[in-house]
Amino acid sequence: MSFIHCFDPTVLREYDIRGIVGRTLHEADAFAIGRCFGTMVARSGGTTVAVGYDGRVSSPLLEPQLVAGLKASGIEVIRIGRGPTPMLYFAAATLETGGAIMVTGSHNPPDYNGFKMMLGGKPFYGAQIAAIGSMAASGDVVEEAEGKERSVDIVPQYIARLVSDWDGGDRTLNVVWDNGNGAAGEVLQRLVGSLPGSHVVLFPEIDGTFPNHHPDPTVPKNLVQLIAEVRRRGADIGIAFDGDADRIGVVDDSGEVMFGDQLLVVLARDVLKQHPGATVIADVKASQVLFDEIAKAGGQPLMFKTGHSLIKAKMAEIGCPLAGEMSGHIFFADHWYGFDDALYAAIRLLGIIARGESTLSSVRAALPQVINTPELRFDCDDRRKFEVIREVAARLKAEGAKLSDIDGVRVQTPDGWWLLRASNTQAVLVARAEASSPEGLERLKAALVGQLTQSGVAAPDFSGENAGH
């Protein structure tokens, strides 16, 4: 039986496949992804693919079609069922499968869904995702075969492995967790039962309609309930996850948000005690404070491109023990497997707090204080966004500006820095600025707006956007 399939062009993205179920993403797409990915695994010499799915309403409909496509390629499918994305990564690493696919819409609205993939233990992204589209359109797949499937309950092993790295002794921490009705719910409830201390889990029920708040911990309004509960209970910390639990959000004991780069400072100081001189990677959106603090702690800070797949690949390439993104992706290769796992990051963070003598709020308060804008995203045509970055970079270099162009342009001045980069997943430009004073921040914003104006791009609204951290 011949196989030809065409995807909606909007669903094949840089780091994953994602779309609106019933509009741009369909069950037939799930089968086609299985058929093409299974072909890639088979051609690379692999025979097995682990498959998991998140708590979205559409996930139990897409997962069987994905499995059918993989089996039609002669693959043995190991179905781990519903749970967080990092549990699938764990299954792939410990069962040594040829590939892995997670059916997940991550933190997108409820009507979205998608697929995150690994091939041969490595991130699957960029040209590899584009190849899925071209293979499907041309029917370039292995001859139809009859694969097999089996179900594996990986939850007990995953929880046991998480708990095995608890290093906080018997200190009784008071912890509030916000599952946000995401896919970690069942695993999280079993995990906290294995940890010392007092734990309460908000919205533990897995519910793909997300009735309490949207599962994206980088958005402050999604942390309102967690903050209130931390303050009400006088908790040591609050921890939130996104919809598939590969990103973490943290609230300190005073109820203040700890941003991704501040969290990475805490984790890096601890890891560098065991790995003096090691490289720690952070993305270009992170505060200069983070890079300076890594250096102060004896590490080698490396600024790298935004994107969880890109950072995982870079970590493996240089063999570094820790990396992180502003978005809350935290990657441990120290004692762990190098993938982004918010549950594991939480375990390591709780251990640091339990062993330490300082509260998390005092650690945060002791960091150098800077003023910055949040990440500002504004529309720019897909065909134009990268041209704008090239134009801005060329002008700045001609002026002799101090800049990094690893991912867009990040410009360093005596006032601080500003960033402009093109999103790899949306028709938007992304901007951010950070300074040591309000006046300095205004100068940075003016410089950024000036560059956008020269390229004929309407600047984002910076009014009321300044925040200290």
The set of catalytic residues is 106
Any residues with CB less than 8 A from the CB of 338 and at least 6 apart, and which? 312, 315, 316, 331, 332
The residue written with tokens 């933190």 in the block is: 107
Q: What is the DSSP string of 40-59?
A: HHHHTT--EEEEEE-S-TTH
SS3 429: strand
Cα distances from 207 to residues 22, 184, 243, in angstroms, run: 19, 11, 10
Count of all residues that appear for the chain in the document = 469
Q: How many CB atoms lie within 10 A of CB 91?
A: 25
HSE toward the beta carbon, residue 271, CA cutoff 13 A: 31
Give the C-alpha separation, 310 to 323, whole Å.
11
263's enclosing H/E stretch is: helix 260-274
If you ran DSSP here, which 8-state letter would residue 202 be given? E
**377 token code pair:** 């995203």
DSSP state of 297: T
* Stretch (H or E) spanning 134: helix 127-138
**CA 166 to CA 298: how far, in whole Å?**
24
The helix (H) or strand (E) run that includes residue 60 is helix 59-71
**Which of left, alpha, beta for 17 (phi over 0: left; psi -120 to 50: alpha)?**
beta
- Other CB atoms within a 10 A radius of the CB of residue 277 amount to 8
Paired with 103 in beta bridges are 53, 115
